[in-house]
Each structure stands twice: as C-alpha cells, then as structure tokens.
Copies of this chain bind each other. A is one copy, B any other.
Amino acid sequence: MNNILDFETVELDSKSNELVIIDQTLLPGRIEILRLSEAKDIWDAIHELKVRGAPAIGVAAAMGLYILSCQIEASTFEEFYTEFVKARDYLDSSRPTAVNLHWALMRMDSVVKANMAKLPSEIIAALRKEALAIKEEDIAVCRAIGENGLTLIKDGYGILTHCNAGQLATCKYGTATAPIYLAHEKGLNIKVYADETRPLLQGARLTAFELSSAGIDVTLLCDNMSGSLMREGKVHAIFVGCDRVAANGDVANKIGTSMVATLARRYNIPFYVCAPTSTIDLNTPTGADIVIEQRSPDEVTTMWYRERMAPEGIGVYNPAFDVTDNDLITAIITEHGIARAPYSDSLKKCANKKPGQ
C-alpha cells in the first residue's frame, strides 16, 4: 500500500501551478491523485468532497485561488481585481457552510488589497506565499497538537479514535491522529483502534486507510464494539477531534463521540479531545447552545448498500454531531497546551495565547 504521508492531502505544484489532491471519494478502494488547474475542476473537487475537512478545504481553496490568479490577463489592477473577485466568489460557492473556506479566501483577498500598488507579478508572488503560509500554519498547529498529545501516550498503548480527524481532514498529521503519528515516528509501540463511524464510515474509509498506509497497526471495529474492547482492557487512551468547543468545555463532535466518552468513564480510560484553538468558541457558553444538524435518512438506510437495508418510509434519527459534556473529558489538547478542568479558565488561557508564548 502506498504511504499517503508521502504525498500529503493538499499540495501546490509550483512548477506546473497545479493543485494536487488525493481524491477522497475513491478511498479506500483507489488512490487517485488529481492535478487541477481549471476553475471548474477545483470547484468540483471541493463541492464533491474530493478534498474534505475544514482545514484541508481552506488550504485547497487558497491554493486554487492563487492558481486562478496566475491565469488572469489584465492590464490594470482594477481589471485584475475584478477577475480575482469573480474567482474568489466562485470558489467560495463550492461549499457555503465550510467556515475555513471563506476565511482562507478572504485572507487571500486581503493580500491582494495590501499589494494593490505593486506589479501584477508581485501580487501573484504574495498570493503564492499566503497560500503556502496557510498550509504551513495548519501543519504547525497539527504538529503542536501532536507534540502536546504525545506527552500523554506511553509505549504499548492501545489508542481508540472515532471518525476521521486525520491527515485527510487537514494538511498533515490531522488533529486526533497527530499524537498517533508522532508516537509512531518516535518508534513507540502502539495499537490503534478505529471506530467505523456510521453512517458515513469515515473511520473505516479514511482513518483506517491513512493510519494503515502509514504503517501504523490499526484495527477496525463497529461503533457498538468499543465498549467491549474497553472492557477487555485493550484501550489505554482515546483521542478524538472536535467541531466546536464551548466556553465551558462541552464539545460538539461527530455523532458517537459522547458515547465513547461515556464508555471511557465507565472503564476509567482517559478521553482526550484534540482541538485547534480556532475551534474554541468562547461566545458559546455551553453545549446546549450548539445547534446539531439532522441529516438525510438515506445515509442510514440506503447509502453504500447494494439494496435498501430498512423498511420503506421508516423514521430515522440521524444527527451529524453530538455534544460531550465537559465532565467526561479528561483534557482538551490545543496547539498552545493542554487544557484541563475547570475549562472555563483553562480554555481561555489556551485560546488567548499567541504562538511562541
């Protein structure tokens, strides 16, 4: 199996000015590397989830916008900027709900505005630098989370994770998987267990794939089996990602996360949430203030299957996320350090810390 760490999730080929991604819709059956330079192709790649995960989408969009900027033919800055905005807004429409997408594109926009007096070639060079910086920052954040998380892993550990907060959702290392990759890099003997994560199977399709292709010992299980695994004493630590952290430390993450946390408490296993400080939302007081998206019944009854696996017309409960109460969380690992209860204090400190402090 190819090692996906060899080619990264999102890359800019600076010679050919192409966006290079792994087509995640074909995983784990096929590793297909896409080289994209047309606006429509880049838009499609984001829209069709060929590249996914908020950080990875942001970087792909920034690189895409740089590539499209190179193609603009304009004799004045105004002409250039008109075309730039068109490309920016077009890419921004590929997945309107992804926060990082808009954020990354607007960062690129600021660069253009800040350099409007300069030569077109200088603007282009600044855009390239910015796109690469967004990627490098993402990698640095994930690496720092990995280093902080690594302090919690001992040789011989069995580690459980849920969903895919992996390299495939970021540019490198992932968030929940970062401590795992660094433990492996360091030569620690670890065994990873990946919940398959119904209904979208990110654990089976993506996490099991990326970890095993990196040479890490990974075992797949159904979501309802992790309690049995913990009861057998095979899990020593749990690392999960997160979508949003409330000010009190309640965490919204992929459906099933709170179940894993509840089981971890029963079996006295530390439960760690890996959270870039960008996901800490001090304006959301508690988990009760987080609205949980309900998704289509088809994901549960029909998707992936050769034939429908439930009666026609059956009611389906299909929330995309759940809230894990802060009392079930042993620690929240950020790039700026490890926050522990009481989270109302510790999260504020992490969120307000500047890199290097």
Contacts and interface: CB of A to CB of B under 8 A. Distances in A.
18 contacts: A1-B311, A193-B317, A198-B222, A204-B309, A205-B310, A208-B314, A212-B314, A213-B311, A220-B315, A221-B317, A222-B223, A222-B255, A222-B256, A224-B224, A228-B258, A231-B322, A304-B309, A305-B305
B318 A256 contact: no
A310 B256 contact: no
Contacts of A258: 227-228, 231
Contacts of A317: 193, 219-221, 225, 229
A69 to B, nearest CB: 38
A208 B315 CA distance: 9
Contact of A322 (B227, B315, B323): B227
Interface residues on A, range: 35 or more
Contacts of A37: none
Copies in the complex: 2
B225 A255 contact: yes
Nearest to A307: B29
A259 interface: yes
Interface in A218-267: 218-229, 231, 255-256, 258-259, 262-263, 265-266
Contact of A198 (B196, B255, B313): B196
A286 interface: no
B198 A301 contact: no
A58 B221 CA distance: 32
B309 A306 contact: no
A319 B228 contact: yes
Lowest 7 A-B CB distances belong to which pairs? A224-B256, A223-B224, A227-B259, A198-B222, A219-B315, A228-B322, A204-B310
A350 B218 CA distance: 45
